[in-house]
Amino acid sequence: MLFNYRYSGNSNVFSNATAAGISFAPDTRRDPTYFVGKLHKKIAFREAISALHDVVVSDLRFKPKDKTAYKEWAAQQETIWLAEFMNGYDAKAADLRMETLKGELDVIQQQKDKVMAPFYKARKNYFDYLYQKDRDTWFVLDPVISVHPDELFFECFSQDESTYGKLSANYNVFKEVNEFECGTTNIDYSAALYNEFQKIRDYKETDFKIDPGGFQVQTSQEELYHEVKIDLPDSWVRGFLQVSSAMTLPAASFDLHPMDVYNFCSWLRRFKEKRGPRSIRFILEPGKPVRAVFEPWNHEIVCARSLYKGPQQREIRIWGRRRLLILERLIPIARKFTVHLTGNGLPSFYVADLGDMQFTLGLSGWTANDWSRAGQFDLMAPRAAVSDAEKLTVFADLKTRWMAKPETIASATGLSKATVLGALGIYTQAGKVIFDLHTGFYRLRELSREPLPLDELRFANPQEAEASKLVQAGKVEYTATDIPGVGLQLKGNVKGAQRIYHPVITIDADERLSNAHCDCNFYSTNKLYKGPCEHMLALRIAHSEK
């Protein structure tokens, strides 16, 4: 999916002994959106925007070690090792031969180093340049910024497609607001900005600007613009929409004291797991402190300052816990952290209350959303049955307000609350509306200038789409067996168009699909190399929903 941006100039931060300024260059292809003011809470904003940067560059996917150099060295040493092993037959002759060969190899190695030296130097310089000068090549999508009548907020998504970040700042963060125009736009963002943000100080007068000048430049002056084209994988865009949609799901919510979050991060910094399950079990009992059990050590952290006020006892497990380290920088300036857990292996959200700012960290079920966990994270379906006229009525009313609660829109339009919620859910899945966890408002925010191809993004692959149809049609029956030391085994009967299929899947302690087989043609042809078949996915979706 190709995204095209057109910026007037570049975003920059300047700083001297007495003053500083932040100026973001907006996308001039979108409707004019700008903001000009002066920062009041400078240090808190610096820390929050730096945490947002950590989300932008986050990539915790497994990266295998590069063993190229070792293999080259081992190949060179192989003849020496072989000679040393065989030298027992004639030690003197072998030693002499080895010395001769070593001398010849040294000469050859010196010649090789001399020939390859320019290549190695050029390669090193290239990667040094990328790391120091052009880190932007590592970024996937520039952050999205929205200006609303009561606040402005940044949104971004990580490179590994698993972490969402949102920084909201109401107008109390600024001591002077000169002009603004509500809307949503992408901003030019570079790695160098992060280092400049660190220079913001409390004693410096700091200007904050989403530059309105970019929309006033004459269109004939093309040299003042630069265009950026980014070809994003559909999975990246789909992940962004799914995490946004997950905010509207029912969740178990509770507050954590900053010191409790510090204890979580401290444990994760001190210990590295070598085996699964790599999860946190939150044990929630009404009126009692929240307890978090870190597996596989079964280490329990009791959050004595944080009571669970929910109506019923619950136990919820989450994975991908090392992403919580993004919150470390916010601990000194946070009043509290509100946690929203949607369910086992489902997305979780952490809202840091920074006073006049809120930082929302959204985590998908796992750091790596690969096929082994497919069918557990389909938040795009089902959609409510709402007519086109009703959808347009709801959207038109929201455009006049920019943010509103469903009750307000229902009262203004005369539609039922259920219809309004259905329409807002559809627009959330389409990337046009976002749900604000902190205030409970639905806010207008169009993720892209052009409409997103929702039919292509709704499911990750044809098998997932077909699995959803099978579950909705009630064609899945299964039995579940807990096998000690192995995991949960699901056996089922799935009624297809021609016959009944018999999939069997095993889910391990990390909620991964560790083993599976089916008697369908897709599995017989591809095994699991192209992911699970629709019958396996239907089995897992049916079990998850139950």
DSSP 470-538: HHHTT-EEEEEEEETTTEEEEEEEEE-SSSEE--EEEE-TTS-EEEEE-SSHHHHHHTTTT---HHHHH
- Let me know if 120 is exposed, middle or buried by CB neighbors in 10 A (0-12, 13-18, 19+): exposed
SS3 call for 332: helix
- Going residue by residue through the chain, which has 546 residues, state the pLDDT in tens, using 9 for 90 and above: 555 666 666 777 777 888 888 888 777 777 788 888 899 988 999 999 889 888 887 776 666 666 777 777 777 777 777 766 665 556 677 778 878 888 888 888 888 888 888 887 887 776 666 545 544 444 445 678 899 999 999 988 887 778 889 999 999 999 888 888 898 887 776 666 777 788 888 888 888 888 776 544 444 444 445 555 555 566 667 777 777 778 887 889 999 999 999 999 999 999 988 887 889 999 999 999 999 999 999 999 999 999 999 888 999 998 888 999 999 999 999 999 999 998 887 789 999 999 999 999 998 877 665 433 444 444 444 456 688 899 899 999 999 999 999 999 999 999 998 889 888 888 887 888 999 988 889 999 988 777 766 666 666 677 888 888 898 899 999 999 998 888 889 999 999 888 999 999 988 776 667 788 999 999 898 887 777 888 988 888 888 777
Cross-strand pairs, 476: 494
Instruction: Quote the pLDDT of residue 397.
Output: 94
What amino acid is encoded at 441 in this protein? F
The secondary structure of 334-397 as a DSSP string is -SEEEEEE-STTS-EEEEEE-SSEEEEEEE-SSSS--GGGTTS---S-------HHHHHHHHHH
Contact indicator for 8, 211 with CB cutoff of 8 Å: yes
- CATH class of the 236-375 domain in this structure: alpha beta
Q: Which fold has domain 13-60+95-218?
A: DNA Polymerase III; Chain A, domain 2 (3.10.150)
Closest CA to 451 of 469, 426, 480: 426
Residue with tokens 């002077």: 176
Distance CA 172, CA 483 (A): 56
- Residue owning tokens 């929205």: 146
Check residue 386 and give its pLDDT: 81
pLDDT confidence of residue 127: 60
Separation of alpha carbons 50 and 47, rounded Å: 5
Integer angstrom CA distances of residue 526 from 304, 466, 507, 520: 51, 17, 20, 10
Handedness of CA 437, 438, 441, 442 (dihedral sign): negative
Provide the pLDDT for residue 356: 92
> Considering Cα of 268, then 154, then 338, then 47, what sign does the dihedral take?
positive
pLDDT at 116: 84
Tokens of 57: 């560059």
Residue 18 per-residue DSSP state: S
Task: Tell me, letter by letter, the H, E, C secondary structure of 246-261.
Answer: HCCCCCEEEEECHHHH
Per DSSP, what are the bridge partners of residue 4?
229
CA nearest 103: which of 121, 125, 80, 120? Answer: 80
Q: Where in the chain is the domain with CATH 3.10.150.10?
A: 236-375
Place of tokens 């002009």: 179
Stretch(es) of the chain classified as CATH 1.10.10.10: 382-457
CATH architecture entry for 382-457: Orthogonal Bundle (1.10)
Q: In what side-by-side order are the strands of the sheet with 403-404?
A: 403-404, 442-444, 433-435
List Cβ neighbours of 525 (8 Å cut-off, separation of 6 or more).
Answer: none
Q: What is the pLDDT of residue 428?
A: 85
CA trace torsion 460, 465, 467, 473 (10° rounding): 150
